[in-house]
Structure 1
Amino acid sequence: MMDEEVPASPRAKTTDDPGGRTIVHNIATKSMLLARSLAESGRFALADLKVSLAHLRPGPLLLGAVTLIGVGYALTGVYSVAPGEAAVVRRFGEIIQPSVEPGLHYRLPWPIDRVDIVDVTSVRREQVGISAPEEEHIHPEPPTKLQTLSGDTNVVDVEVIVQYQVSVPADYITNVEYAPYRIVRDALRASVTRLVTRLPVDALLTSGRQSLQQAIREETQSRLDEYRTGLVIVGVDLQKAFPPANVADAFTAVNTAREEKARLINEARGYANSRLPEARGQAQQVRAEASAYRSRILANASGTARAFDLLWDEYRKNAEAYGEDITRYRMYLESIERIMPRVQVYALDNANGGTFNLRLYGAKNGTTEEASR
């Protein structure tokens, strides 16, 4: 049986093919001829240069020209930094001076050292979510609409203006590879999108705006620091947070009702605050009247008690004079008081001319005669 022939790999096939060897040989031959031709041309050119400069001899003119060229080359290393700017010096791509202050300075000439000057005082401004750019909008890309979901899954349009500037020139030069406003804009949009999802729409439209604005600034700065952009956020202004146009009327009605509720609550609190002093005054008056009434009642009771004590003293005296049956005597007197106005009473002295006791009840001495008509 004959062995089955196994096909070779493409590389092996190319290597064993006589046609392939011929092509490689031709390329190598032509390359050698080209190199030899270039060498001959270079040798002839060098010979021509030597012939043209053969008449020149080292002297003051040549030395002065070389010196002038050297001094001019050295002077290219002088540079100045204006106020409000900072310079970053790199040597063969490595930063050797991260922040050079304003003034006149020197660095090694190109291509050894390179100087990049950065404006570190100007405050730049970027708009996010504003459909109509402001007049000071300087870059060609207009702001785009920013819509995000609130914590209760409502769509909210957000408009933010951010101000920023360069704070670390070295980081700005080495890490910001494209327009800085794009980095700031993208970081701001990411921060707004994440933070808005934490708040309900009512908080976004009313009480939560101030805290959200501060949180947006802090998180945007954190993102820029993470990217090592050398940029610092100067301020964030949350211009608007409003619902889309198709539901704006409903949100406006809700906000109006909420404001009306707050107004009524404030009016009620104001009324309560105005009535409280009056109520306190009335309460104080009632307490004063009650205290006076108490004093008056106590005084009357004390007087009544003293009068009773006096009567009690008289009672005891009369009890000693008239006996123990005071009640019966009192009833007798009350009856006499009712009868006496209708009678005439004559009192006569006794025959002996002594004293006459006018006691009408239980008389022990004297004689009493009564005549009635």
Structure 2
Amino acid sequence: MAGPNSPWGNGGGNDGGSNGGGDSSGEPGAEGAEPSPDRAPDRKGPRNPWLPSGEGAPPRRSASIEDIFRGRGEQRRTGGGGPRGPGGFPNFPQRPDGKSWLPLGIGVAVLVVLGFSSVHMLGPKEQGVVTTLGQYSRTVDSGVNLTLPWPIEQIDVVDVSSFTVDMIPDNENEKLMLTSDKSLVDLSYLVRWNIKDLKNYTFRLADPKETVREVAEAAMRASIAQVSLGQALSGAGRAQVEQDVRERMQRILDFYQSGVAVQGVEIKKADPPAKTKGAFDNVNVAQQEAERDRSEARAWAQQVIARAQGDASSFDKVYAEYKLAPEVTKRRMYYETMERVLRDNDTVVGEKGVNTVLPLPEMQRRAAPSPDASVSAPTSTGGQ
């Protein structure tokens, strides 16, 4: 079929190619024939559109279906058509001098890791504990600090200036404690503390926060056991208990070299147990009423004492006048006493046991001027 003018031929006049004979001249039309890389296509005949153009072009692949699928299988096994290195790994891009970028990239990554693990910036409230191969080395303060790269040296940064506040108990449950008078009180309090020695805080205690809570509870129970229920419930008693608990906690923590500084203890709630709260309320009401009665009695006593002191002062003055003129003073005192006694009395006891009733109040009312009268007339009274 491939003649001189066939686009599949190479311009040769061999008729055997049209019959598909055993001529292996390299024609693409021949079945099972491979194109020869040493043989260039005939420039005079028509160009085969399926052959690569230009000199130095790679030869055309085989048209056999087995060769096509064989090539695709090899491409899938190698993971693509890109350049491959030894072992089938892809080759890294090369530098202009022909060397690989891989060693340089590894070196940069190592430098970055060393920089992050060797340079440390600590805040103004922070300190760091440096350990060398797991052993304590030193304590560093705030600012920029340098250490050996990981894993030779490691640093643990902790905030040592801020206060930690623990609420005991941390829920709504009762925390009953026994007082010195065998009474129970429900307490809720908070503890403020911070770190004063980071080395001891890190290595002396297995669980520093839980240790502080346990020491606080032990100190509070010991202090409450030394005061009565009334002192535990009152404001003045609370202040003394808080101070005692703080000092007791600090002594215990210093004994264990915990590196903790207790800044303060504050009692938030001090109530009787819930089951006896009603009885305690009744007792408080009775105590308040008793205190009110005592206050009223003290006020009445002060008034009586002031009146008695005034009467005594008046008597002293009268006695001074009596010593100067006894008869005159005696008569004046008699008249004043009789006037005070008989002022509102209608009965007059005369001689011989005769009681004479005089209408003195009625006569006084009649003698009193009327509010509407412009001029009041005097009235006269008589007696036996």
Return the match for 1:83 from 124, 149, 154: 124
In the other structure, the counterpart of 1:198 is 226
Q: Which amino acid aligns with 1:227?
A: Y
Per chain length, whose mean CA-contact separation is higher, i.e. which structure has more relative contact order (CA < 8 Å, sep 6+)?
A: 1
How many Å apart are 1:126 and its aligned residue? Answer: 1.6
2:151 is matched with which residue?
A: 111
Q: 2:152 and 2:299 mapped to 1: Cα distance?
A: 77
Judge conservation of contact 1:171–1:229 (CA < 8 Å) in 2: yes
* Aligned ranges 1:138-287 → 2 under 5 Å: 144-178=173-207, 180=209, 182-206=210-234, 208-271=237-300, 283-287=312-316
8 Å contact from structure 2 (residues 196, 260) kept in 1: yes
SS at match of 1:248: helix
Once residues 83 and 194 of structure 1 are traced to their aligned partners in structure 2, the CA distance between those partners, rounded to angstroms, is 38
2:127–2:157 CA contact under 8 A, matched in 1: yes
Q: Is the 8 A contact 1:116 1:173 kept in 2?
A: no
Change (3 A) 1:262 1:109: farther
CA distance in 2, matches of 1:229, 1:273: 60
Structure (1 or 2) with the greater helix fraction: 1
1:73 aligns with 2:111: no
CA distance in 2, matches of 1:156, 1:75: 55
AA of the residue aligned to 1:242: D
Q: Indicate the percent of aligned positions where both proteins have the same amino acid.
A: 28
1:332-369, Cα deviation, whole Å (9 max, x unpaired): xxxxxxxxxxxxxxxxxxxxxxxxxxxxxxxxxxxxxx
Q: Any conservation in 1 of the 2:129–2:199 contact (CA below 8 Å)?
A: yes
Aligned-pair Cα RMSD in Å: 3.7
TM-score calculated relative to the size of structure 1: 0.51
Equivalences, count: 228
| Alpha-carbon distance change, 83 to 274 in structure 1, aligned in 2, over 3 angstroms | farther
Three-state SS of the structure 2 residue aligned to 1:190 is helix
**Whole-Å separation in 2 of the counterparts to 1:276 and 1:289:** 20
C-alpha distance in 1 between matches for 2:264 and 2:303: 43
Q: TM-score, normalised by structure 2?
A: 0.49
- 1:170, 1:230 within 8 Å by CA — same for their partners in 2? yes
Q: Is the 8 A contact 2:208 2:258 kept in 1?
A: no
Q: In structure 1, what is the equivalent of residue 344 of structure 2?
A: none
Unpaired runs of 5+ residues, structure 2, are 1-98, 330-384
1:168-213 residue CA offsets vs partner (Å, 9 max, x unmatched) = 2222121232261x22221121122222222232332235322222
CA 1:196–1:229 in 2, change beyond 3 Å: closer, same or farther?
same
Unaligned runs of 5+ in 1: 1-58, 133-143, 301-373
2:166 corresponding residue in structure 1 = 126
Give the alignment of 1:90-101 within 5 angstroms.
90-98=131-139, 100-101=140-141
